[in-house]
Structure 1
């Protein structure tokens, strides 16, 4: 068990309109790789949804430092996306930005088609896009909110994967972003937690389905992480102490989560499929 930091996380009072901008956060999330790359992903073609900021951005930069070529899908956060592209390309690799609302199937197909047009294939697919709205009363979750949450957080994973698979070969891998809420639930994020639970079952089932094709499927289930989703979803009181209820008494930084994705992507870990990694600050969830 990690030793807890005795000081609780205290963030300055702040709140942003959805979907939030990383550059306006205080402090700005840490996305730089914490280690020097050694070419472990050189030439590998990677598609990441929700790649403009937060965990997606940290993963993109870490993979770029290892030599990967990146295609990054994003909703409408163009400023963050352009900055991420520049930071990724600083590692000497190509980075393609694809603006698309992947809660619609037609856009999922377009994201994959644009990636294939530029890179000719996909070696690593990272389904990472997600959104949530806090609703303390279950009866306040509207049908519209429920459908939007599931279309973005779950359906897009099915659709992106469906269109990507014909372009993936043996040795490829898929990594899905779940959450600690899939295991312990969340009283104010019932629909979001439900989507994250669905992603775990999707990961395990797809892994079994694709094992004979030599394509591995795993997931990462982070705990509280300091990203634009947080400052655009919660009130100032919750943002101020966000992550302080974790055993480490703080929220994680995106660059502390990204190495879990790299571990799952490496060919050296070819015996892992259908599994979930838990970078969550020390919470034991037995999942």
Structure 2
């Protein structure tokens, strides 16, 4: 057979082979059952799915009046002493992710201090839940934008609870704007001072009291990874938190203090109903691959994992996305 004939024969065989594969896939597609388009439920219990009640809250938002109620107590999560004898300070610990983290860390044996702005009822609910776990809980009312409050919160925690082993920077401010021209200096500064200054100032105050084996866990966001067109300032602040996490993790290696971040996707908490119009809250989280927002108790174990040297002693400077699928 001439070389040209061999080449043509090879081309013909390739075309036939590709058409055979195409036919096989077409038959398989035709026989395949319809995909389940329901929201994914892979946890110990089922979680609420959009559409939600059309609701909006005034800032800073309260968990006590949120509907549906958040699921934060993780009743099937069993503690095993991962944080026994430790002291954790959690900013924004009155509600949402912060509340659930506080409860699970208490279940793992830590005494807890939580800072919050003015949501006294939410903070008391969290405190009661921590005491129910058999641990102490200190409530610290104040604004993480203020250096004096951050210093005072750390000093009070160390004085009343006997030390500080885990810092969870979680307090945040978020309000959307559709156009950059509508993002005022007041709005921008509020976001940056709360989300960046607050994290830095709390860490700076805490680190002198922390020892080898201590941990800092920051709350980042999927917006800090991919951005959000309506959250320019918030996305910027969360990207900054991710960079701060990596830099501080390297900075503290010689002290044996690990620094990591959890980057949540949409989570059902007071943060978003106090940000979005009621109509957008109705479909909150529906666009994730899992077709629903996370509940706080689905995020909290990631914080325990990163805080516990039993689980993550070789992890520092990392960002852990928990975003309901890519």
Q: Calculate the TM-score normalised by the size of structure 2.
A: 0.84
2:64 aligned counterpart, secondary structure: helix
**Helix, strand or coil: the match of 1:221?**
strand
What is the Cα deviation at residue 61 of structure 1?
0.5
- Structure 2: distance between partners of 1:127 and 1:13: 30
d(CA) in 1 for partners of 2:178, 2:135 = 44
- Report the equivalent of 1:102: 144
| 1:6, distance to aligned residue in structure 2 (A) | 2.2
Structure 1 residue ranges without an equivalent (≥5): none
Residue 5 of structure 1: CA displacement?
Answer: 5.0
Say if 2:42 is the partner of 1:6: no
* Aligned match of 2:319: 276
Map of 1:74 onto structure 2: 116
Larger radius of gyration: 2
Of 134, 140, 148, the residue aligned with 2:176 is: 134
Question: Where in structure 2 are there 5+ consecutive unaligned residues?
Answer: 1-34, 40-48
What is the number of equivalent residue pairs in this alignment? Answer: 281
Matched, 1:180 2:212: no
**Residue number among 74, 79, 102 corresponding to 1:60 in the alignment:** 102
Superposition TM-score, scaled by structure 1 size:
0.96
1:167 counterpart = 2:199? no
Native 8 Å contact 1:5 1:248 kept in 2: no
1:192-219: per-residue Cα shift (whole Å, max 9, x none)?
0100000000000000000011000000
Q: CA deviation at 1:120?
A: 2.5
2: distance between equivalents of 1:178 and 1:186? Answer: 14
Structure 1 runs of 4+ aligned residues shifted over 3 Å read none
CA distance in 2, matches of 1:41, 1:173: 11
Q: Describe the SS at the equivalent of 1:59.
A: helix
Q: Which residue of 2 aligns with 1:23?
A: 64
Rounded to whole Å, the distance in 2 between the matches of 1:208 and 1:40 is 24
Q: Deviations over 1:253-285 (max 9, x none)?
A: 0000001101111112100001111111002xx
1:226 aligned partner: 268
SS of the residue corresponding to residue 90 of structure 2 reads: strand
Distance in 2 separating the partners of 1:223 and 1:230: 12
Partners of 1:91 and 1:105 lie apart in 2 by: 31
- Are the structure 2 counterparts of residues 35 and 5 from structure 1 closer, same or farther at C-alpha, using a change threshold of 3 Å? farther
Residues 55-106 of structure 1: per-residue CA shift (max 9 Å, x gap): 0000001111111100000011001001110011100100000001111111
If asked which structure has higher relative contact order (CA below 8 Å, sep 6+), I would say 1
1:149-168 alignment runs, 5 A limit:
149-168=191-210
CA contact (8 A) 1:21 1:77 kept: yes
Give the conservation status (yes or no) of the 8 Å contact 2:64–2:121. no
Taking the aligned partners of 2:103 and 2:146, their CA distance within structure 1 comes to 27
RMSD: 1.2
